Structure formats: C-alpha cells, structure tokens
Amino acid sequence: MKDAIELLIQRGWLKQFVKNPESERKTIKLIADGNKADKIVAMSVEHSGDFLNNVEIVPYSSTWEHFPSTNVIMGGTMNISMGIMKRKFEELMNVNLLAPSDSNKGGRHPLAFYDLEFPGGATNSAIPLLMRASMANTDVRRVLIDTRTSCDIMYTDLFQTLQLTEKILSPYVGNELYGFNSSSTQAWGYVEPLVTFSEKEAGKTIKYPFLVIDCLSLYNCIIGRTRLAQLSAACLTAHLKLKYHAKDGIIASLNGDIEAARRCFLQANKTQNSVS
C-alpha cells in the first residue's frame, strides 16, 4: 500500500495532493517503556482521507519481492493438496499468535527449553542437531534433524547397512532430484522402517516413510518437519536437544550426538562426502 502511493508520488501523479512535495517522510510518535520517541516512517498516511478514490488500494504490496525462477525440491510424503495448504495458511494468518496461552489446557506439560540447557552454557549455532535412533535392530547414528525439509531421506549406504532389499521399496514416481552442484539423481523409492528414539520409559517408536537416495552424504538419513510433527516433537539447534511426550506423561529430552557431529565436521574439512 505504501509502496503504491510512493510510486505514484515519484511519477508526479499526486503532486497536487501533497502539501510539500520535497518532504516525503512524516514523523509519528511512539511510546515505548513510558518514554516518547520519534521514528521516521517513509510515506506514512495519517488519515483515511489521504487516499484517493480512484487509486486501487491492496492490503499487501509485494513489488519488492523477486523470487528466482528456479525449481526447488518440495512436497515429499505430505500428501496434502494445494487447496488444503492455501486454506491452512489463511487459517493461521487469522490466528492471534501474540495472545497469551494457558499452559494448563491440553492436559500435557509444554515442551520447554531452558537457558540452563544451553550446551556449554552458550547458544549453539554451528553444530547441526544429530540424533541416534534404532532401525531394524541397528543403532543408527548421524541422523540429521532438519525442520526445513518436508521429505525424510535415507541414503543408500544406510539402506544397505540395514540389509534392506529393493523388493520392499514402494515406487517413487516423481522427477529426478537435483543438488547444489546441478548433479541429478533418481530416487530408488520409499521404505518404511520402524524408528525408535531413546529406550525404556522415554522410548517412542514410529513408522517413517523414507525416500531412498543414491548419493554420498555425511549423514545416514534426514528427518524433516513432517515426521517431527507426527512424533509430536520439538527441537532447538541452539540447545542441541530434541523433546517429545512419551508414555505416562514423561517428557523425553534427548541430547544431540556431539561426537558424531564432530566426526562429520572433520570429514567435511577433508573434502570427503561420506563418513566411515
């Protein structure tokens, strides 16, 4: 809206409606912590009468956004239609996320992260969150937790280590996948092993549909946000922790695998793609 009005003024179409064409900024008063402060706001509008009747006003102007015309890997195993996703966005945009919440509602304690849990007493931003999990009676390390992806990936090295066969794969009918170096690879298909985090009272088992990819990687598999939601888990890289609700109201708190992350870091510095 502001961008549209500014563009009209810059083109000289609204000179007769501007009291001082040389001054394109107005000052508004802000009250913060009980103290008044001046803040310059470019092209602010003080009264609804400042709008012209013949100017189309849109609630949001995205003329500054220039998305690159490149393909991205998306979707995965979500199986959600475009219409459902659009309605979900509209629903969440109408929710007041700043409203105070009642932690007693819902019947379970919140999955909270505390400052005392920072690894080494400071927030982490450099080390990825790697976990350990049990798959096919095998202790699997270097499981990357990545909330940016909606598709869970298993690399063929782990697929073969678990002694799984291609006969159990479900077909993948999508296009080839492309990496950052423009190399392409065709997925083998989907496999759904049982994945168990932790053990005893804190243990939780869930069936994960992994997309099997034949390429070198520092990690054995990647678990994305879709399966984390199914696990009802929360994670923070700053704390290097993964938390979820286990049985009998227990909150399981799993620490990141620092030793595995160190090995991946050292191997990456050797310009190698895999870790033995």
Rounded to two decimals, what is the model's pTM?
0.65
Parallel, antiparallel, or unpaired: how do β-strands 204-207 and 221-223 relate? unpaired
CATH for the stretch 116-269: 2.40.70.10
Q: How far apart are CA 14 and CA 5, in angstroms?
A: 9
For the chain, the C-alpha Rg in angstroms (whole number) is: 26
Averaged pLDDT for residues 198-225: 90
Parallel, antiparallel, or unpaired: how do β-strands 210-213 and 241-245 relate? unpaired
Question: Which tokens in the block code for residue 171?
Answer: 């077909």
Show the beta-strand stretches assigned E in 62-124.
Answer: none
Domain ranges of the chain: 2-50, 116-269
Q: Output the pLDDT for position 238.
A: 93
Instruction: State which H helix or E strand residue 227 sits in.
Output: helix 225-231
- At 72-98, the pLDDT tens digits run 444 444 556 677 777 777 776 776 655
DSSP 243: E
Residue reference for tokens 């961008």? 3
Find out whether 231 and 133 touch, Cβ atoms under 8 Å: no
Q: How far apart are CA 253 and CA 260, in angstroms?
A: 18
- At 217-244, the pLDDT tens digits run 899 999 999 889 888 899 999 999 999 9
